Amino acid sequence: MTSDVLDGPSLDRVTSPAGPQQPAAAAPRGVARRDWSWVGLVPLALYVAAFLAVPTVLAVASGLFDGDGAFTLDNLAALGDPVILTTFGNSTWLSLLTAVIGAVVGALVCYAMLGLPETGIVRTTVDAASGVLAQFGGVMLAFAMIAAIGTQGIVTKFLSSTFGLELYADGAWIYALPGLIPAYLVFQVPLMIITFMPALAALRPQWAEAHLTLGGTRANFWRFVGLPVLAPSFLASLLLLFANAFSSYATAAALASQGSQIVPLQIRTALTSETVLGRENLAGALAFGMIVVVAVVMTLYALVQRRAARWQS
């Protein structure tokens, strides 16, 4: 028998009663404690300043001031150019179309998952995949689209050899503006699932039970209770999807190869083209126009989200 087994706890550990815990030493009277909790926000503040505030200030400055630093509105006159107006129109309908399709499809997926257990394998898998695909874009997404539904893609060849369906009978649309629609939906639908699922999950079953107890039907519950409660959250998610598509650049830059048909690509052309003379600040004016559009959309999003938050608390 070793001494380790025989040796018990020391006498003072056993016999000494547990005394009351001594309070922390109070600060001397007259000396106020400083609150250092704001230090944790410094990395986020630096990140926002470097990648949001500074680029916004530079864009506004290049759009509203000339090369000598004098205030001028001449740069904004370029926003009335028919080519620029067409570019803003293309960005608007592309963003609106993908936002509406993504919102409807994403809401249906959320409704289908509502009856599944939160910790089940299906729901957790969909949640995890949505979190990844919502951030999936750029060159990787463009390569995936070309490999799947490109002119020589796997799906394209399968549909042609099996069903005789030619996706590109009228031309290679995937490299033009229509090709951005399926590409944007790859991240728009998962983003809708992430943002709308909490609102749908907050719809309390007791409301439906009370409605049915009082003689109502399930259809009337969705008509008079469910849809009005979910409408602000759905509209807020729709606005978020619109802003997400309107500001997307990397996927369009990697996939579209014919012209600058949306505003981010037009800004790239204004910055890199050697043929645009006398409009050195055209990129700044375009960026200023995008900032105004996104600011209006996100303001509406904040107002609608504030109203929707009442039902999620």
Q: Which CATH number covers residue 238? A: 1.10.3720.10
Label residues 242-260 b or e (16+ Cβ within 10 Å = b). Answer: bbbbbbbeebbbbbbeeeb
Cα distances (Å, whole numbers) of residue 266 to 3, 37, 64: 82, 43, 18
In a domain, 228, yes or no: yes
Query: How far apart are alpha carbons 141 and 139 in whole angstroms?
Result: 6
pLDDT value, residue 10: 42
In a domain, 32, yes or no: no
pLDDT value, residue 312: 60
Rounded (5°) CA angle 171-172-173: 95
In a domain, 276, yes or no: yes
307, two tokens: 């109203």
pLDDT value, residue 5: 40
pLDDT value, residue 128: 92
pLDDT value, residue 25: 56
In a domain, 260, yes or no: yes
In a domain, 208, yes or no: yes
Q: Which domain holds residue 243?
A: 72-310
Burial class (CB in 10 A: 0-12, 13-18, 19+), 105: middle
In a domain, 67, yes or no: no
pLDDT value, residue 94: 93
What are residue 249's phi and psi, to 5 degrees?
-130, -50
Task: Look up residue 179 and give its DSSP letter.
Answer: G
Average pLDDT per block of 10 residues along the chain, 313 residues long = 42 45 56 79 92 84 74 77 88 94 94 86 91 88 91 91 87 87 94 91 83 85 86 89 91 80 86 65 82 88 78 61
Total structural domains within the chain: 1
The angle that helices 227-246 and 82-113 make with each other, rounded to 10 degrees, is: 140
In a domain, 4, yes or no: no
pLDDT value, residue 110: 93
In a domain, 134, yes or no: yes
pLDDT value, residue 2: 40
